[in-house]
Amino acid sequence: MALKCTTKAGLSDQDPGSSGADYLVRHCTLRQLQLLEAIVRLGSFTRAAEELFLTQPTVSMQIKKLAESIGTPLFHHVGRTVEPTDAGREVYAACRDILNGLANLETKLADLKGLRRGRLRLGVMTTATYVAPEILGAFCQRYTGIDVSLNVTNRDQLLERLCAQDDDLYVMGQHHDFGQEVEAVPFAPNPLVMIARSDHPLVGQPGIPMSRLADEDLLLREPGSGVRDAVLGHFARSGVEPRVRMQLGSSETIKHAILGGLGISALSLHSVRLESGGGRFAVLDVEGFPIRRRWHIVYSRSRELSLVARTFLDFAIASEPDIRAQLDEAMAALRRVSGLPAAVATSSAIPTGVIS
């Protein structure tokens, strides 16, 4: 719906330069500004359309109308991407102010209504999809009136969303030194375990030294992955040069590669929890594993958390005992497949509050 405002007497309704803010208020819509913000942030009309559940022709038409209202082009094509013109960047800056102002207003109105209604926007790293949706689902069952959105993306794009304050809270695995502007609250263990197919020759061997893994084909996540950095860091500290056979873009792809006999890999225990009792995967008893890591809920200190966001943060922290129990059960099942005795070196060995 277009915003409406009374036009000053004597000013032309056709000249955007002659009527100041009144003209833009009458001829631009909040939806158009939202579309422009998404296009600039995502660098693509198509991705903006997908994020906002619109067709690309609709997005193109609305941006064309916005450009006509402003009286100048807002984008130009650079290869397969689009970049804002000088005017587009100015409009984008104004969009951010307007949309952030509306988001803050929505937060205050929701707080006045309590937890009967409200919205939660959660940004999640790809690897956190093994833990975040379950917590979010349990939260929604308790607070049925909350409208939630879950934005899943890689670490670099999630950091961009954090800088732009596109979401209320963010779930990240690797702890970053954000300084004083960002708060990172650890809320659940995220141990990395060395996984192999159940018939791998190393399965069942106790106390495997890291030097032994130099002879194995290692499957790794893509560059920039926090899991990859943690695994390579552990190899480096052990003085071992890994033989990397493949770099793959997701934990699911790595699991399929393991089952295909292409190698072994260090994965989050969360990512193999559902398959732990199936007998296809086994955990290797390698020195220094599990690598102790934690999930964090991250948010910007410059933006006040809504009542809904604060409640979800507390809810996630309170879920830690249940998460630990699930991981302990998964680890025990993987060790049974491996023929190894039960051990305490599971998620329970990770002290609450450890950040890595």
Residue 6 lies in a domain: no
| pLDDT, tens only, 300-336 | 888 778 888 888 999 999 999 999 998 998 888 888 8
Q: How confident is the model at residue 51 (pLDDT cuts 50, 70, 90)?
A: confident
Rg (CA), the chain: 25
Same domain, 242 and 166: no
Q: Residue 53 falls within a domain, yes or no? A: yes
Cβ of 124: how many Cβ atoms within 10 Å? 22
Half-sphere exposure of 192 toward its Cβ, with a 13 Å CA cutoff? 26
**Is residue 70 assigned to a domain?**
yes
Sort strands 265-268 and 182-189 into parallel, antiparallel or unpaired. unpaired
Cα distance between residue 301 and residue 107, in whole Å: 15
CATH number at residue 51: 1.10.10.10
Using CB atoms within 10 A of its CB, is residue 295 exposed (0-12), middle (13-18) or buried (19+)?
buried
- Taken in order 336, 342, 348, 351, the sign of the CA dihedral is negative
Q: Is the pLDDT of residue 200 over 90?
A: yes
Tokens of 77: 């094509």
Task: Please check the confidence at residue 117 and state whether its pLDDT lies above 50.
Answer: yes
Please count the other Cβ atoms lying within 10 Å of the Cβ belonging to residue 250.
16
Cα–Cα dist 137/102, whole Å = 27
**pTM of the entire structure?**
0.65
pLDDT in tens, 81-107: 788 999 989 888 888 888 877 777 776
235 is in which domain, residue-wise? 192-291+333-349
Q: Do residues 170 and 87 both lie within one domain?
A: no
Shared domain for 175 and 302, answered yes or no, is yes
Q: Give residue for tokens 């689009």.
A: 82
> Within a domain: residue 91?
yes
Statement to judge: residues 278 and 300 lie in one domain: no
Residues 6+ apart with CB under 8 A from 152: 124, 125, 126, 129
In the chain, the number of structural domains is 3
Q: What is the 3-state secondary structure (H, E, C) of 147-175?
A: EEEEEEECHHHHHHHHHHCCCCEEEECCC
Tell me the backbone φ, ψ of residue 354, rounded to 5 degrees: -70, 135
302 and 175 fall within a common domain: yes
Pairing of strands 192-197, 281-283: antiparallel
Question: What span, in angstroms and rounded, lies between the C-alpha atoms of 346 and 336?
Answer: 13
Percent of the chain with pLDDT over 70: 84
Residues 110-118: what's their mean pLDDT?
64
- Residues 258 and 129 both lie in one domain: no
Q: Assess whether 275 and 213 both reside in one domain.
A: yes
Give the whole-angstrom CA distance, residue 119 versus residue 122. 10
Distances (CA, A) of 64 to 56, 70, 127: 12, 10, 38
Indicate the DSSP class of residue 44: -
* CA-based nearest residue to 347, from 337, 336, 338, 334: 334
Q: CA-CA distance, 152 to 242, in Å (whole number)? A: 30
Are residues 219 and 259 located together in one domain of the fold?
Answer: yes
pLDDT of residue 21: 62
Q: What are the E-state strand segments in 181-328?
A: 182-189, 192-197, 217-221, 243-248, 265-268, 281-283, 294-300
Within a domain: residue 327? Answer: no
* Mean pLDDT over each residue of the chain, to the nearest integer: 82
Same domain as 262, residue 153? no
- What is the SS3 string spanning 286-330? ECCCCECCEEEEEEECCCCCCHHHHHHHHHHHHCHHHHHHHHHHH
Where residue 173 sits, what CATH number does that domain have?
A: 3.40.190.10
| pLDDT band for position 14 (cuts 50, 70, 90) | very low
First to last CA, the chain: 47
Confidence of residue 266 (pLDDT cuts 50, 70, 90): very high
Which candidate, 164, 166, 163, places its Cα nearest to that of 149? 166
Neighbours of 233 (CB within 10 A): 11
Residue 28 and residue 65: Cα distance in Å, rounded?
Answer: 8
- Lookup: tokens for 38: 């998404």
